[in-house]
């Protein structure tokens, strides 16, 4: 079965615009090096992954252009999700320019890093959002549980905009399934899933268990909830490589994912492994 990794990153720290990738954060030390196509390709080949969606990791248009250059040179990169400041009216011109590249598929504000938890509900300029719609672009929501109420407002205001929630909104799994934020996460994710334009990525969850070892048992409640809410047609599998490497190897995450996805009917497995990503991002 050919798979699509709907969420992976490349970066070159020497470029200087990865504000979150700080040398004074010991936990991030393993990520403070280049991660480029030649590093990922052997893992894709070993895992039967034919295409990927390359997602921004810096709040700059320059990084998006860097990713599009990589996508031009590497056929396995089927799409790029970039960054544009949607709060500015002049974002329209930037979106129009980037959309001339056939692999530019959408944008991702780094909502989890912004000081205002409700930024997405009020800051995006209407002209910029209308440009997303007109250009056929998608919106990746990099959020945590505290951002979900505002995201729900945004999604309801723009019902035609395809939205995917990255990493299942990063539930605080290290606090346990009975953690104090879990009820709000469940309620808001259920409400978001009720809106047909919203999908969700089954990705980035191994690192949410740190410092604990990621296990199938620990992730089973999350998988069960996502499957109930979104169904296979709106669940996209992703690795979140190389951030994944802080908690698990690429091969280990793939095997864990097979434990969940393999319980589905063959046609449903195909949706989660590649069909949902192909539909959502309009991949060739």
The radius of gyration of the chain from alpha carbons, rounded to an integer in Å, stands at: 18
77-82 and 198-202 beta bridge pairing: unpaired
Supply the angle between the helices 91-98 and 126-134 in degrees, to the nearest 10: 20
First to last CA, the chain: 17
What are the CA-CA distances from residue 166 to residues 34, 74, 88, 141 (Å)?
23, 24, 23, 6
Distance (Å, rounded) from C-alpha 189 to C-alpha 169?
8
This prediction's pTM: 0.96
In the sheet with 104-107, reading across from the earlier edge strand, the strands are 3-8, 49-55, 77-82, 104-107, 138-141, 163-165, 198-202, 235-237
Q: Note the pLDDT of residue 63.
A: 98
Q: Are 201 and 217 in contact (CB under 8 A)?
A: no
Q: Note the pLDDT of residue 192.
A: 98
Q: Note the pLDDT of residue 182.
A: 80
CA 127, chain centre distance (Å): 24
List, in order of start, the domains of the chain with CATH numbers.
3-281 (3.20.20.140)
- Cis peptide bond N-terminal to 142, omega within 30: no
Q: Note the pLDDT of residue 130.
A: 97
Nearest to 64 by CA among 124, 3, 130, 11: 11
Distance (Å, rounded) from C-alpha 246 to C-alpha 19?
18
Residues 276, 72, 63, 130, CA torsion sign = negative
Q: Note the pLDDT of residue 172.
A: 82
10-residue averages of pLDDT along the chain (284 residues): 94 94 90 97 98 98 98 98 95 98 97 92 96 98 96 98 97 76 89 98 94 91 96 98 97 97 97 98 94
């Amino acid at each position: 079965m050919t798979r699509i990794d709907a969420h992976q990153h490349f970066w070159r720290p020497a470029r200087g615009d990865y504000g979150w990738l700080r040398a004074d954060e010991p936990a991030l030390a393993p990520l403070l090096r280049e991660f480029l196509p030649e590093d990922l390709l052997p893992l894709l080949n070993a895992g039967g992954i034919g295409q990927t969606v390359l997602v921004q990791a810096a709040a700059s248009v320059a990084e998006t252009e860097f990713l599009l250059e990589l996508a031009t040179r590497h056929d396995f990169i089927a799409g790029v999700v970039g960054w544009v400041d949607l709060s500015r009216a002049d974002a329209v011109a930037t979106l129009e320019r980037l959309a001339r590249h056939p692999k530019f598929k959408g944008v991702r504000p780094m909502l989890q890093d912004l000081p205002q938890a409700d930024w997405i509900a009020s800051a995006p300029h209407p002209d910029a959002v209308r440009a997303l719609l007109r250009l056929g672009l998608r919106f990746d929501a990099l959020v945590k549980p505290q951002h979900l109420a505002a995201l729900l407002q945004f999604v309801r205001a723009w019902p035609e905009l395809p939205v995917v929630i990255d990493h299942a909104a990063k539930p605080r799994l290290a606090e346990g399934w009975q953690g104090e934020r879990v009820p709000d996460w469940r309620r808001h994710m259920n409400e978001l899933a009720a809106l047909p334009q919203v999908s969700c990525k089954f990705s980035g969850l191994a690192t949410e268990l740190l410092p604990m070892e990621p296990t199938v048992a620990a992730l089973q409640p999350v998988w069960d909830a996502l499957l109930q809410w979104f169904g296979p047609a709106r669940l996209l599998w992703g690795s979140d490589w190389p951030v994944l490497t802080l908690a698990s190897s690429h091969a280990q995450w793939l095997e864990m994912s097979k434990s969940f996805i393999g319980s589905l009917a063959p046609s449903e497995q195909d949706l989660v492994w590649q069909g949902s990503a192909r539909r959502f991002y309009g991949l060739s």
